[in-house]
């Protein structure tokens, strides 16, 4: 999505039967409180919405998302039941940028994750990059001003009485 100064959003729909039950329980019913702190779908500017037969992910301006099935820090944790899940774009407002060269992105950025941290004296000069034991990289970015980030959205359940 473009910068948050340009209002817009993108809605992607996934069939619920392709979403892992554990992810649904953890994200929407609070079985694992840690999931709201670390799952990419709970980052600023990303709004997960659960319905009876689908999962909708809204991306708001200022968000960059690389969809992948494993979750950073817990590669064994799966959001989707298989690795070939394709979402359907159901609504777009404003500009959306995408890369169709997914093979290149997978090769070049598969093991790079960005994590926002509170600024401190050792991060004043910018990002710190750390190589993890599994070979992946974590980029720690100081969050200078929370107003620079899109707002935080909590997971929502629609049609709760039909679940």
Give the phi and the psi of residue 105 in degrees, each rounded to 5: -60, -45
> Which letter, b or e, does each residue of 89-103 get, where b requires 16 or more Cβ atoms within 10 Å of its Cβ?
eeeeeeeeeeeeeee
Phi, psi of 162 (to 5 degrees): -100, 5
Asked if the structure places residue 100 within a domain, the reply is yes
Indicate if the pLDDT at residue 30 is higher than 50.
yes
Domain assignment present for residue 143? The answer is yes
d(CA 16, CA 24): 9
Structural domain includes residue 3? no
Sign of torsion over alpha carbons 68, 72, 75, 80: negative
Residue 137 counted as domain residue: yes
Quick check: is 4 in a domain?
no
pLDDT in tens, 44-100: 889 999 999 999 999 988 777 777 766 666 778 889 998 877 889 999 988 777 766
Backbone angles phi, psi at 106, to 5 degrees: -60, -40
The answer to whether position 52 is within a domain reads yes
Total domains, the chain: 1
CA distances from 1 to 31, 50, 90 (A): 31, 22, 15
State the residue range of the domain holding 21. 9-162
Per residue in 125-147, pLDDT (tens digit) is 566 676 767 666 666 655 555 55
């Amino acid at each position: 999505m473009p910068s948050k100064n340009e209002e817009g959003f993108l809605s992607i729909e996934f069939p619920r039967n392709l979403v892992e039950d554990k992810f649904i329980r953890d994200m929407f019913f609070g079985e694992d409180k840690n999931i709201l702190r670390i799952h990419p779908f709970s980052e600023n500017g990303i709004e997960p919405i659960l319905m009876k037969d689908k999962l909708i992910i809204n991306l708001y301006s200022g968000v960059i998302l690389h969809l992948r099935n494993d979750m950073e820090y817990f590669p064994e944790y799966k959001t989707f039941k298989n690795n070939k899940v394709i979402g359907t774009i159901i609504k777009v407002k404003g500009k959306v940028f995408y890369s169709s060269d997914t093979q290149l992105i997978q090769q070049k950025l598969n093991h790079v994750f960005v994590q926002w941290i509170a600024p401190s004296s050792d991060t004043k000069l910018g990002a710190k990059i750390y190589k993890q034991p599994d070979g992946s990289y974590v980029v720690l970015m100081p969050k200078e001003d929370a107003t620079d980030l899109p707002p935080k959205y909590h997971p929502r359940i629609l049609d709760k009485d039909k679940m």
